[in-house]
Amino acid sequence: MQDPLEAFSQGVNFTRYRGQPQGHYESFFVRANHPHRAQAFWIRYTIFSPKGRPGDAIGELWAIFFDAERNRHVTAKQEYRFTDCDFDVSSFRVRVGKATLLPNRLEGAIEGKRHSLAWDLKFEGASPPVLLLPLALYQGRFPAAKSVVSVPMACFNGVLTVDGRQVEIADWVGSQNHNWGSRHTDLYAWGQVAGFDNQPDSFLEVATARLRVGPFWTPPITPIVLRHRQREYAFTRLGQAIRARGKFGYFSWEFASRNEDAEIAGTISAPREAFVGLRYYNPPGGTKHCLNSKIASCTLRLTDRRAGTTEVLETKTRAAFEILTDDEKHGVDMSA
């Protein structure tokens, strides 16, 4: 009998959308950072299907190039009829318009009103997927939004073309990710580090989320996974994630958790100008504001009780940091 985690991992990038009438969003995205400079890219292939109207489903293609050195971030988005897209349910094959995402390869282009981005990239990674939820929760209705890092510590090579200027992508490290659900999380912060400045082989995935149930809000739920020195520190059990500390605002975040073997505490932050504002359609209706940065800083303190060690992991510009909110008073311009 096949191990459940192994079975899940084999289909980790299979599309979950089947025309569900309750509404659906699903995204496959890649992102990576320059090895030494404050530059990063983010490319996202998305399904959006509004509640009760699966016939109005569309495909979306997004791309951002972050460049803190020039204090200039280039953003582009394009929407397509769903009939012009292909999201395979039994293999990893994604197409939005002519843009494709396959195992170890992605190609595409967006000609926006203000900016254009094109990419021809290869990527590889041997690490197993990172699950931010217990495996059983990926099969049920709760939570409504799921996320998994399909390929952590992915290494990218190729060419990114930003407003006609070619940017060589040579051994940029990041990840390939898969998110889906019937609605976006009501309020969250999400973070990821694929290689710290002082620990280039370590990987962090963390989120703090609050869910609205009728007129009530849940307390912050903060799952954390750190892979460090060939070991995975997973603080993801639901009760543990509820007891964890997670507090964020515009534009900083503090989080901490513990279990019987280890304690972890960290901060992620970035200045306002490091963020790009995006509008995400929500399947039940309305839009969410996503404040998106891939050039944030992170400091992480890990205490391993079994080894009797305490270490500090740091990066100045290699952290992903996103906030999803209904609030429009964040002061970040909406770029797409």
Show pLDDT as tens, one digit a residue, over the chain (336 residues).
Answer: 678 889 899 999 999 999 999 999 999 999 999 999 999 999 999 999 999 999 999 999 999 999 999 989 999 999 999 999 999 999 999 999 999 999 999 999 999 889 999 999 999 999 999 999 999 999 888 888 999 999 999 999 999 999 999 999 999 999 999 999 999 999 999 999 999 999 999 999 999 999 988 888 999 999 999 999 999 999 999 999 999 999 999 999 999 999 999 999 999 999 999 999 999 999 999 999 999 999 999 999 999 999 999 999 999 999 999 999 999 999 999 999
Domain, as residue range, for 126: 26-325
CA–CA dist 234, 131 (Å, integer): 9
Token readout for 30 is 């890649």
pTM score over 0.85: yes
Question: Does residue 297 belong to any structural domain of this protein?
Answer: yes
CB atoms within 10 A of CB 335: 19
Question: Does residue 283 belong to any structural domain of this protein?
Answer: yes
CA–CA dist 17, 283 (Å, integer): 13
Number of separate domains in the chain = 1
CA–CA dist 68, 271 (Å, integer): 11
Maximum C-alpha span of the chain: 57
Q: Give CB contacts under 8 A, 24+ apart, made by 235-239.
A: 235/259, 235/264, 236/131, 236/132, 236/133, 236/134, 237/134, 238/134, 238/137
* Residue closest to 139 by CA, chosen among 4, 276, 282, 311: 4
Token readout for 73 is 């971030």
Question: Does residue 16 belong to any structural domain of this protein?
Answer: no
Token readout for 145 is 């939004």
Question: Does residue 336 belong to any structural domain of this protein?
Answer: no
Token readout for 96 is 């939005």
* Residue closest to 133 by CA, chosen among 176, 91, 186, 180: 180
Give, as one character, the DSSP assignment of residue 253: E
